[in-house]
Amino acid sequence: MTHTSDRLARATQESTHERTPWRVRLALHDIDGITLLVVPAVLFVLGLFVYPFLYGLVLSFKPRAGDFLANYRKFFSDPFLYDTIYATLRLALPATIINVLVSIPVALRVRKLHRRRLLTTILVIPITLGTVLIAEGLLNYLGPQGWLNRTLMLLGVISAPLRLVHNYTGVMISLILSGFPFTFLLTLSYITGIDASLEQAAATLGATARARFRHIVLPLLVQGLAVNFCLSFVQTFSVFPSAVLLGAPAGDTRVISIAAYQAAYEQYDASMAATIAMIMGFVQLTVVVLALAGRNLFYRGAAGGGKG
């Protein structure tokens, strides 16, 4: 505050001269030596994030052969390529919805714990280890001779081992195992942001747990859940290592990122790879926009208990 008033004072003094120096005029808009510190990082992100994206977009319209739309036409006319969108959505949408829905009751329960640090620490481990390690672990654990199948057979639930790897199920399990902790920690941070006194007030007025959830927590949570859904969806949509290692990369888990990878590193067609990357980004964006539009149908308001 004092900075600005100082500067204002200085500026008015100097404006009595014929022209205000440009430094002062810039400083009035909060542009000075300190502001320039942001420039290297901005240039970095412009050069290595925005530029490659635009480069990829332009490149996708410069196919090896044919007119500028040839790559897009090829993608949407070849079932081997366009089916990958369906294969990805078939994994990403259920996995995200399961993770988000299950995370709500668990987070509501965990919120009441006083020492939840141990649980959150355990759940950070799968996120940290990443999908490659989870894929390798699950190959052993879910395999026909793995502990899960052995336990189920010992308990008499099944008579022959279930096929859980190198198919859709394996990738789905890995998406839940690596995705749930991420979704859960986000939901937990949103739920702890809701003022508990709002619920206490409702409980005092005789609302049951179900009614409190339905009429207080859920409306306040919808905003956060929509963002959570988007971030989790974007993560699961870009599944690559587990789809290759745990799935059937030539069959029903041939996801769009595999198609992009093959175009870039097996066919060396940078233009086609850029096209697939752009389509991948576009599908993600569409789902995110739909989810964010959906949340506007719900209540919008403060999650705090204070005034205003």
Partner 1 sequence: MGQDKTISERLWAVAIWAAVIFFIINFMAMIATVVINSFGTRWLGTWLPAGYTTRWYRSAWDEFQLGDVLITTFQVVGAVVLLSGLFGVPAAYALARRNFPGKQLVMLLFLLPLMIPPITFGIPLATVLYRLGVGGTFWGVIIANLVPTVPFVILVMIPFIEQIDPRIESAARVFGAGTGQLFVYVLVPLLAPGILAALLLVLVRTIAMFELTFFTAGPDSQTLVVALYYAVYAAGVRAGQSIDAMAVIYMITTLIWLLIALRFVDPTQMVARAKQEAAR
If the CB atoms of residues 18 and 124 are measured against partner 1, the closer one turns out to be: 124
**Binding segment for partner 1 among 10-18, 62-70, 130-138, 213-221 (CB under 8 A)?**
130-138
Q: Of the listed pieces 9-17, 46-54, 68-76, 78-86, which binds partner 1 according to CB under 8 A?
A: 46-54
Cα–Cα distance, 11 to 33 (Å, whole number): 17
Q: Where are the alpha helices (DSSP H) in 1-78?
A: 2-15, 22-28, 39-45, 51-60, 70-77
Q: Is position 80 an interface residue for partner 1 (rule: CB under 8 A)?
A: no
**167, two tokens:** 């198919």
Q: What one-letter code names the amino acid at 188?
A: L
Under the criterion CB under 8 A, does residue 37 sit at the interface with partner 1?
Answer: yes
Distance CA 273, CA 258 (A): 10
Residues 170-209 that bind partner 1 (CB under 8 A): 177, 180, 182, 185-186, 188-189, 196, 199-200, 203, 209
For 77, 116, 119, the CA distances from 231, given in Å and listed in that order, are 30, 23, 22
In angstroms, rounded to a whole number, what is the distance separating the alpha carbons of residues 241 and 131?
6
Q: Binding to partner 1 by residue 277, rule CB under 8 A?
A: yes
The residue from 40, 79, 156, 306 that contacts partner 1 (CB under 8 A) is: 40
Min separation Cβ 16 and partner 1, Å: 26
Shortest distance, position 77 Cβ to partner 1, whole Å:
22
Cα–Cα distance, 258 to 265 (Å, whole number): 10
Among 23, 64, 73, 150, binds partner 1 (CB under 8 A): 150
Smaller CB separation from partner 1, 33 or 306 = 33
